Amino acid sequence: MMQPGTCLICGRTTETNYEPCSECAKHYEGDIFFLETRRVPSYPNQPVATIGYFANTQASANRYPTGNWRVVEEEKVRKLYSVESMEQIAKDRIVLTEPKTYRILFQPECRRAI
């Protein structure tokens, strides 16, 4: 169960909303985190994700992490997004994805985009 205030990698308590703790962020420096999200909560009263690329755009509001996540080298992520989008992604270090996109990117039965 993915909860805000808990590092998604090591489970350590953090002060942030669904972000990795500073130690894990340091370990994955140069990588981008992809979190699978849905429009409905994964559990009652789950807080929405307020961090990451797509978190605060109107079309993508109300995103609830499912607990699935991956890390991808920034260089590979650059092949997927426009230069403009990458500017923000490089700052955020986290991308919230719809389940369909997440499947296409990461599931072995689908053709890999990266």
- Residues near Zn ion (CB under 5 A) are 7, 9-10, 12, 21, 24
Using only the alpha carbons of the chain, give its radius of gyration: 13
Q: How far is the CB of 7 from Zn ion (least distance, A)?
A: 3
Number of other residues whose CB lies within 10 A of the CB of residue 32? 25
Nearer to Zn ion, 9 or 51 (CB): 9
93, 99, 64, 15 alpha-carbon torsion, rounded to 10° = -30
Q: How far is the CB of 93 from Zn ion (least distance, A)?
A: 14
Nearer to Zn ion, 12 or 100 (CB): 12
Start-to-end Cα distance in the chain: 27
Q: How far is the CB of 14 from Zn ion (least distance, A)?
A: 7
Nearer to Zn ion, 27 or 39 (CB): 27
